[in-house]
């Protein structure tokens, strides 16, 4: 979903960019060193929602809720966020989790692999965003249950501070795509896939 939105936002903002699909850890390193100029994140993934001194953020693009996700028969064991403490929890390698000191990370390469890991009982619970986990659950035919909310926020552009001059154009593009319904249209396209 976000891979469709980024080019639309950049095009409307008249910003030329090469969009790279890097693993999360490489993305974070490249941003820190200035090899990348931006990525898409939710401040809710960061400790105290702090993106750090090197970055500025755009206005919100879409709302994203991250859940503790498990198989339907185990949902009662994870209805409270404190139930993940000290347990092995499936995570995506390189992703940021504001509280990963509270649980033991079991890293996998993607949300798709997290859903497969649940199905194969490699972990009892994972942390994943509502849209990607439900998409992969549907695609793989593996039923999952959304338990406790892990983080609740909005996706934004995290832009290196030296490019702060681009923020007004990015924010205007986001506002335009919200106003003309394009963002809702793309979200619906993915959520309708989930409902069918």
Alpha helix (H) residue ranges in 34-165: 111-119, 130-140
pTM: 0.80
pLDDT tens digits, 155-177 = 999 999 999 999 999 999 999 99
Per-residue three-class SS string for 20-69: CCCCHHHHHHHHHHCCCCEEEECHHHCHHHCCCCCEEECCCCEEEEEEEE
The pLDDT, as a whole number, for residue 192 is 62
Helix (H) or strand (E) holding 169: helix 167-179
Q: For 121-160, give one letter per residue: b (16+ CB within 10 A) or e.
A: eebbbbbbbbbbbbbbbbeeeeebbbbbebbebbbbbbbb
Low-confidence residues of the chain: pLDDT under 50: 193, 195-196
The pLDDT, as a whole number, for residue 191 is 65
The pLDDT, as a whole number, for residue 196 is 45
Reported residue count of the chain is 196
The pLDDT, as a whole number, for residue 21 is 78
Cα distances (Å, whole numbers) of residue 12 to 89, 137, 170, 188: 39, 33, 8, 21
The pLDDT, as a whole number, for residue 195 is 46
Under a CB-based contact definition with an 8 Å cutoff, are residues 140 and 123 in contact? no
SS3 content of the chain, % helix, strand, coil (to 5): 45, 25, 30
């Amino acid at each position: 979903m976000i891979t469709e939105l980024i080019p639309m936002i950049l095009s409307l903002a008249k910003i030329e960019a090469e969009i790279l699909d890097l693993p999360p850890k490489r993305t974070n390193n490249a941003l820190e060193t200035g090899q990348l100029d931006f990525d898409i994140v939710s401040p809710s993934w960061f400790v105290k929602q702090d993106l750090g001194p090197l970055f500025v953020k755009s206005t919100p693009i879409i709302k994203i809720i991250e859940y503790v996700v498990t198989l339907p028969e185990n949902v009662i064991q994870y209805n409270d966020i404190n139930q993940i403490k000290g347990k092995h929890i499936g995570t995506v390698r390189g992703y940021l989790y504001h509280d990963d000191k509270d649980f033991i990370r079991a890293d996998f390469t993607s949300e798709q692999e997290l859903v497969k890991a649940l199905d194969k009982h490699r972990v009892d619970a994972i942390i994943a965003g509502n849209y990607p986990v439900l998409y992969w659950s549907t695609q793989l035919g593996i039923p999952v249950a959304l338990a406790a909310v892990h983080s609740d926020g909005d996706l934004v552009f995290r832009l290196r501070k030296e490019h702060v001059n681009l923020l007004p154009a990015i924010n205007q593009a986001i506002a335009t795509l919200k106003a003309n319904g394009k963002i809702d249209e793309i979200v619906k396209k993915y959520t309708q896939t989930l409902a069918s």
